[in-house]
Amino acid sequence: MNGSELLVELLLEQGVTRIFGYPGGAVLNIFDALYRYQDKLQCVLTAHEQGASHAADGYARLTGRTGVVLATSGPGATNLVTGIATAFMDSVPLVAITGNVGTSLIGRDSFQEVYIAGITMPVTKHNFVVRHVEELAGVVRAAFAIAQEGRKGPVLIDIPKDVSAMPCAYTPLPLATGTAKRPGSPRAVARVAEVLNAARQPVIYFGGGVQAAGAGDLLLALCQKADIPATHTLMAAGVLGCDEAHNLGLIGMHGNLTANKAVHEADVLLIAGARLSDRVALNPAKFAPNAKKIHVDVDAAEIDKNVRVDDSIVGDVQEIFAQLLPLTEEKRRPAWAERIAAWKSHDYSPKDDATRLRPHQIMRGISRLAGEDAIYVTDVGQHQLWAAQYARHLRPRHFLTSGGLGTMGFGYGAAIGAALAACGRPVVHITSDGSLHMNMNEACTAVRYNVPVITVIFNNAVLGMVRQWQTVFYGGRYACTDPQRKSDYVKLAEGFGMPGFRCANPAEFEAAFAQALANARGDGPRCCWIECLIDKDEKVLPMIPAGGSVEDMMMD
């Protein structure tokens, strides 16, 4: 066999059955092997390498398994960079494979040559250039191990064209049964349990790390046993069900008043699998100023990075919760619950409107119609926060969003990847006129693979999030946020080969969405676009300005 066939064998060995990619000159050998192995390994062809990278990412976010994307050298490789960086910022396990020019042409500015290992160094956990086919097996196995080990993330493998053609042999190796999960130091756990037991007004603030560790059930048990309210980051929506009494909802810049107040007033704050980013600890000096802060994370470098904490436990969050739970005392905290209920009673609450579409109504309508196991994939902007705030989040790994990098154009690819992983369950792709224009090319992919992706477009005809900042902080000087596009989304959808709907009020929306759900389970095109006309002055509220605290929260 040659290097390309070896690569495919190694992917199969890792349990990969589907990859996302786009062919090109430097990966011709690899695609030739894929042709021969097409019964065992599917390569999903996207319109653009960026879409492929987001699809592999969405696939990984939904399943927890490592996503794989394949692209050619040069522009194929650089088109992956945004997708790799997106996965890196959100700690998503991804293996990106790029072809490169032959080893004899490397360094000569050859056609479609780019030093992708150098380019991706800051946005990968690690990357490899395979210069000899003998290295390939070790590299591929290491790449998959690294992507899943500890804090997960992307790894890139660059394979020059001649390496993918070199003769070689495949020696199978049994798959290692998962990397050992690192427990917390028992002394640290005991110390933390003591602090939690002595707390009067404790809060848990948790992030994507809890989801990655599969620690949602233990988190819920901890909240219930010790009667501790918990607030989540954008990355952790759904880890606790939205109906769970201890779930305070979203924290941070566009979090609710209750969650932000509770953190501000907490005497003990347990930070779990979260990284105190500038969208949560907007002002590190004023963040949870009264709290003894305890940080639990798998990545030691996160401790004290953004906010100084009082204590920490480094290790797998699931292991640590399991250690912590028996040491935590059963408690009721009626006084604390009462204060929280008081904040809840005057928290932000948007008004319904029967004659026009309001963002929260669209989201609530989607959740009502799509049901409990709906999968949400968002793009980036106002609609993303509305989705975080108003969708009914009930399951972990069912709200896929670009949290760290904030990648407009993430949604379509990710939704397609998620839909292929979800085996027929509908995926609601929540997007906007701005984000959809970034990567709408992937509509052809949705149609071609006939995935049940319902694209809901929040169309306010402006670049809403930036415009909102211009309204609030830049005196209403709307520089380049009013694109005045003439795109007809119904015709566009039809042009791509799927139905399109346009809705201007809740009744129209519900009818369209119900039809979309029926289509998603039917025999015709399962994907569609639903354009929702909303007012351009709709804002994401509440809002804490960058660098502020809950005391600066804007409610209207």
Residues of this chain that interact with another protein (CB under 8 A) are: 117-118, 121-122, 125-126, 129, 135, 138-139, 141-142, 145-146, 149, 299-301, 303-305, 308
Q: Tokens 């709200």 — which residue? A: 399
| Token pair for 62 | 């939904």
CB nearer to another protein: give 297 or 319: 297
CB nearer to another protein: give 31 or 128: 128
CB nearer to another protein: give 142 or 504: 142
CB nearer to another protein: give 93 or 542: 93
Which residue type occupies 171? Answer: T
**CA torsion sign, 471 to 473 to 477 to 482?**
negative
CB nearer to another protein: give 129 or 408: 129
Residues shown for the chain? 556
CB nearer to another protein: give 276 or 540: 276
* Of the candidates 511, 534, 523, 522, the residue with the CA atom closest to the CA atom of residue 430: 534
Instruction: Give me the catalytic one of 161, 261, 292, 539.
Output: 161
Smallest distance, Å, CB 140 to another protein?
Answer: 9
111 assigned to active site: yes
The answer to whether 541 and 365 are in contact (CB under 8 A) is no
| Token pair for 368 | 């009502």
For 258, the 3-state DSSP assignment is helix
Instruction: Give me the catalytic one of 253, 465, 498, 553.
Output: 465
CB nearer to another protein: give 301 or 514: 301
Q: Is 29 buried (19+), middle (13-18) or exposed (0-12) by CB count in 10 A?
A: buried
Smallest distance, Å, CB 182 to another protein?
Answer: 13
From edge to edge, which strands make up the β-sheet containing 399-400?
Answer: 399-400, 375-378, 427-432, 453-459, 528-533, 500-503
Smallest distance, Å, CB 418 to another protein?
Answer: 29
Smallest distance, Å, CB 304 to another protein?
Answer: 6
Strand duo 67-71 + 18-21: pairing = parallel
* Of the candidates 471, 489, 490, the residue with the CA atom closest to the CA atom of residue 540: 471
Instruction: Give me the catalytic one of 1, 13, 42, 112.
Output: 112
Distance of CA 46 to CAs 6, 313, 520, 538, Å? 24, 42, 20, 34
The answer to whether 341 and 208 are in contact (CB under 8 A) is no
Smallest distance, Å, CB 122 to another protein?
Answer: 5
Smallest distance, Å, CB 118 to another protein?
Answer: 7
Contacts of 474 (CB under 8 A, 6+ apart): none
Smallest distance, Å, CB 53 to another protein?
Answer: 20
* Element housing 97 (H / E): strand 94-100
The answer to whether 254 and 389 are in contact (CB under 8 A) is yes
49 assigned to active site: yes
Instruction: In whole angstroms, give the CA distance from residue 411 to residue 401.
Output: 7
Smallest distance, Å, CB 139 to another protein?
Answer: 6
161 assigned to active site: yes
For 99, the 3-state DSSP assignment is strand
Instruction: In whole angstroms, give the CA distance from residue 431 to residue 453.
Output: 12
CB nearer to another protein: give 139 or 493: 139
What is the separation, in whole angstroms, between the first and last Cα of the chain? 65
Instruction: In whole angstroms, give the CA distance from residue 83 to residue 86.
Output: 5
Residues with catalytic function = 49, 111-112, 161, 465
